[in-house]
Copies of this chain bind each other. A is one copy, B any other.
Amino acid sequence: MARLEVFGVEGLPEIVGGMDLSAMIYEAAAAQGDPLLDGDIVLVTSKIVSKSEGCTVELDDVEPSEFATRWSEKWDKDPRVTEIVLRESKRVIRQIGPVLITETHHGFCCANSGVDQSSSGARDRILTLPVDPDATCRAQRARFSELGLDVAVIMTDTFGRPWREGQTDIAIGVAGLNPLFSYIGQEDPHGHEFRVQEICTADELAAAGELVKGNTSRVPVAVVRGFVWERDDEASLAAVLRDSERDLFR
């Protein structure tokens, strides 16, 4: 039976553009006495990827649109931040009171297109989500492979959701591991289809990682060890993003 170990990777320095995150994670894990092993799942917080890939916007460079300005004034928001949120989105899902829920260019549905002012490291700088999280995860997995390791990589972020209070960590990119596990076609002894058809394993792994990362601590990477997964080099988080035609809540 599966028995998992979940731990954080500490001791990473402040991340700046161009850093080799995989090598740094590899070294930091070894330095704390937890060298990575084949089969590990490495959960990387998007924030450090955004920093290493230079996904930042200086607020002084932003010229807000009239629409962004008017709405922001009404709700006491910085119109330059609103402008970035809109630029990072392909559509607004809900704009009610001061809340702005958007669908990002990647297809993630979340508050404020996932942009982050508090983690940017400077008062007038905004972090945006990485441009192609799957591609980053694949590059990281390939880099781990060069270091001799066969690990899956999941990029995580912390999103809210309808109906329930509190945010949880979810997956925004994957490499090596299919984000969904399917029970489709299996039947119980009475010939009923199982009520559960498909589990979003990647989101559950992300959630498990948050329990050791926390959101204000300096632990941007977690490792899940002991989870059995099939190698799938075609894996993509796109499989998790429900088509808007099939979605009842957009």
Q: How far, in angstroms, from A241 to B164 measured CA to CA in the complex? A: 5
A212, closest chain B residue (CB): B2
A166 contacts B by Cβ under 8 Å: yes
* CB–CB A166/B208 < 8 A: no
Identical copies of this chain, number: 2
A180 interface residue per 8 A CB criterion: yes
Q: Does A152 contact B (CB under 8 A)?
A: no
Given A204-B207, A204-B211: A3 and B6 interface contact (C-beta under 8 Å): yes
**A182 shortest CB reach to chain B, Å:** 9
Query: Can you offer 9 A-B residue contacts whose CB atoms are under 8 A?
Result: A1-B8, A4-B5, A4-B212, A118-B188, A118-B193, A119-B188, A123-B190, A163-B242, A169-B204
Interface residues in A213-238 by Cβ distance below 8 A to B read 215-216, 219, 224, 227
Residue of B nearest to A127 (CB): B195
Whether A249 and B162, one on each chain, are in contact in the complex, defined by CB atoms closer than 8 angstroms, is yes
Question: A167 touching B5 by the CB < 8 A rule?
Answer: no
- Cα distance A215–B180 when bound, in Å? 13
Contact of A165 among B101, B188, B239 (CB under 8 A): B239
Query: Which residues of chain B are near A224, meaning CB under 8 Å?
Result: 211
List residues of A (114-133) whose CB comes within 8 Å of B's CBs.
116-119, 122-123
Q: Indicate if the CB atoms of B99 and A248 lie closer than 8 Å.
A: yes
**Nearest CB in chain B: distance from A226 CB, A:** 8
Check if A200 is an interface residue, CB within 8 A of chain B: yes
In-complex Cβ contact of A109 among B1, B163, B186, B247 (8 A):
B163
